[in-house]
Chains A and B, each alone.
Chain A
Amino acid sequence: MIKVSGLTKDYGARRALDKLSFDAQQGEIVGFLGPNGAGKTTTMRILTGYMPPTDGTAIVAGYDVVEESIEVRKRVGYLPETVPLYTDMAVFDYLKFMGELRHIPNVDDRVDEVLEMVGLLERADGYIGNLSKGMRQRVGLAQALLHRPEVLILDEPTIGLDPGQVVEVRELIREIGKERTVLLSTHILNEAQNICDRVLIINKGKIITEDTTENLQARLIGGERVMLRVRGESDELAATLKQIKGVQSVEIQEEGAVEFSFASGKDMRPEVAKQVIKAGYDLLELRPVGMSLEEIFLELTGADNKK
């Protein structure tokens, strides 16, 4: 559904995108993860036909974004990062206007339908200017969904929403992602982990890595990681653990808490528990911790480790 190859974009002397290549299939939710200025928005703007690339090609829904821009735009729903809306229009009128530009038949009914989907039906007659940020975000989402697009491109779709709405919007995206292609950008790692089938990590205009969320974790850890909490001194506990064969990379987290890892397939937890109790500690907690995307991300982008 989306096929990008060698996409390059220069803003004057600054290279925003550097030979970016990736693709996304139908029924797939792909997350675009990267720090600010990584090139997420630029990529999305090229894919939606807003701006042409300096070099490279992008095929969206079977059409070239430069040569057949209008055809691409007919098939793409786009929620820009800043959620631009006509604040002096009523919600319903705005969506109807956008629907008319897209030649949607029975546009009134369809507008009611999407308003129901995003939970804004009772605010249909209110002015967009009077809506909260979260509601505007949902109006923007409604606009992107209006024409049942084959490809949905969402730039930071949950930013500014309260936690309850975040859950709702993620649910909605997951639902849409079952049949359509969704490309969303985020810098909330937890979000990418939660809704995306696949994550592209991008930094300085280049894709650093591309994989499913599960694979990414496994690939980076190369084993399993466990958190151990006891009543007592961390330093001594760490020393005790280091003596157990098979335990690797012991790290003190806080007073009485230590993280360690072991090669996957060889569960060290029973052995560790035995040894810890034998050493006279009160065992409080022993649980596996996955490496968070945040850590993966920091490691891949080469940013300073937070610890």
Chain B
Amino acid sequence: MRNIWTIAKREYDNYFNSTLAYVVAFAVLFMLGIYFALIMYVTSQQAFMGGGGAAPESTPLNWLFVFLMIFLSPALTMRLISDEARMGTLELMLTAPIRDFELVAGKWLGSLLFVLSLALLTLVYPLILNNYVTPGIDWMVVLSSYIGLVLVCSALLALGTGISAIFSNQFVAFFATLGLFFFLWFMVSLPAGYLQEGGNVLNYLSISTHFSQSMNTGTIGLGDIVYYLSLTALGLFAGTSAVEIRRWR
């Protein structure tokens, strides 16, 4: 555990030395900021016109955060292990007294902490919103939404870390990760509508339905949690196996 933390800490610090991480942070916060301003603007216009629209919620912002992560998190994970392999520093890690799993988990945790830092900043939106809505927003929904956000990001980053361990070229890792996320977000549940039965299975496999249709609306099902934790475990397991295979080559 201590080794995982040591590696995570270095990886986390490393993001603040990297232009790419700042670009990702900027992109996320900029888009969310605009979206939030739009929500506030539209709501105030409606109120001004006398229309009794529903009170604005902060959950669409978390949906956007997660949606952006589909595109941006591969950029955060692509170089985690692939670049170490290319630079040769993997030899240092693999001859240090740490287990392969600790290396992979540390890398994943470092990236997750970076994304969580961004998510922490987005807490200003529900806080601001709370001031404008009477009698205040439903904090339980916000909590559920954030738990969902953490779980989705955990799964995405673990899969990204795992793929980064497979390739020695960070751009190959990037596109492979992006492709997988596209598949899991858009494609996997696509045939569900055309099937007589069995569509539920495909819906269960989709990374978006668990978030958009349940956690982000305030209902946390055991199935949702199991789904994201399974993906996280799968990613870390794939990464650990890939590192072990590297030793044999």
Contacts and interface: CB of A to CB of B under 8 A. Distances in A.
Interface in B222-249: 247-249
Interface stretch (A96-104, A209-217, A229-237, A290-298): A96-104
Contacts of B18: 88
A98 B247 contact: no
Interface stretch (A16-24, A48-56, A172-180): A48-56
A51 B100 CA distance: 12
Given A84-B87, A88-B17, A103-B2, A98 B92 contact: yes
B10 A80 contact: no
Given A51-B248, A100-B6, A82 B97 contact: no
Contacts of A187: none
Interface footprint category on B: 20 to 34
A220 interface: no
Nearest to A103: B2
B130 to A, nearest CB: 41
A45 B99 CA distance: 16
B197 to A, nearest CB: 48
Contact of A101 (B3, B14, B17, B89): B3
Contacts of B138: none
Interface string A33-49: 00000000000010011
Contacts of A85: 89, 92
A101 B95 contact: no
A218 interface: no
A7 interface: no
Contacts of A74: 97
Given A51-B248, A52-B247, A70 B95 contact: no
A156 to B, nearest CB: 14
B92 A80 contact: yes
Contacts of A82: 88, 91
A40 B96 CA distance: 20
A48 B98 CA distance: 13
B172 interface: no
Interface footprint category on A: 20 to 34
A73 B95 contact: yes
Nearest to A83: B88
Interface in B87-133: 87-92, 94-99
Contacts of A48: 95
Contacts of B10: 97
Interface string B1-38: 01100110010001001100000000000000000000
Contacts of B17: 88
B89 A50 contact: no
Contacts of B88: 80, 82, 84
B4 to A, nearest CB: 11
Contacts of A73: 95-97
Contacts of A87: 87
Contacts of A86: 89
B247 A101 contact: no
Nearest to B6: A100
A46 B98 CA distance: 16
Contacts of A78: 95
A80 B91 contact: yes
Contacts of B14: 88-89
Given A50-B247, A88-B17, A103-B2, A98 B89 contact: no
Contacts of B95: 48-50, 73, 76, 78, 80
Nearest to A88: B17
A84 B89 contact: yes
A115 B248 CA distance: 34
A11 B247 CA distance: 12
Contacts of A143: 92
Contacts of B90: 84
B248 A101 contact: no
B92 to A, nearest CB: 6
A76 B87 CA distance: 22
A175 B88 CA distance: 29
Nearest to B93: A101
B6 A101 contact: yes
Nearest to B246: A51
Q: Which of A71, A86, A101, A103 has the most CB of B within 10 A?
A: A101
Q: Which of B91, B95, B99 has the most CB of A within 10 A?
A: B95
18 contacts: A11-B249, A48-B95, A49-B94, A50-B94, A52-B247, A52-B248, A73-B95, A74-B97, A84-B87, A84-B88, A84-B91, A84-B92, A87-B87, A88-B18, A97-B6, A101-B7, A101-B96, A143-B92
Interface of B: 2-3, 6-7, 10, 14, 17-18, 87-92, 94-99, 247-249
Given A74-B97, A85-B92, A101-B96, 4 more contacts: A49-B95, A73-B95, A101-B7, A143-B92
6 nearest CB pairs, A to B: A84-B88, A73-B97, A84-B89, A74-B97, A48-B95, A100-B6
